[in-house]
Amino acid sequence: MTRRSIILTALAWGLSLSAVRAEEPDEAWIKQRIEQVKKAEINGWRKIPWVASLLEARRLSEQEKKPVFLFSHDGNLETGRC
Q: Tens digits of per-residue pLDDT, 37-73?
A: 888 877 777 777 788 889 999 999 999 998 998 877 6
Is 21 part of any domain?
Answer: yes
Is 30 in the same domain as 14? yes
- Classified as helix, coil or strand, 43 is coil
pLDDT score for 4: 63
Residues linked to residue 76 through DSSP beta bridges, in sequence order:
81
The predicted pLDDT at position 82 comes to 55
Of residues 25 and 60, the one with the higher pLDDT is 60
Please compute the mean of the pLDDT values over residues 22-50 and round it to a whole number.
Answer: 82
DSSP structural state of residue 48: S
Q: What's the CA gap between 79 and 63, in Å, rounded? A: 32
Mean pLDDT throughout 20-37? Answer: 80
Are 52 and 24 part of one and the same domain? no
Which H or E run includes 39? helix 27-39
Q: Containing H/E element for 73?
A: none
Query: Can you give the pTM of this predicted structure?
Result: 0.37
Give residue 6's domain range.
Answer: 1-34
Residues 47 and 64 in one domain: yes
CB of 70 closer than 8 Å to CB of 54? yes
**Residues 25 and 45 both lie in one domain:** no
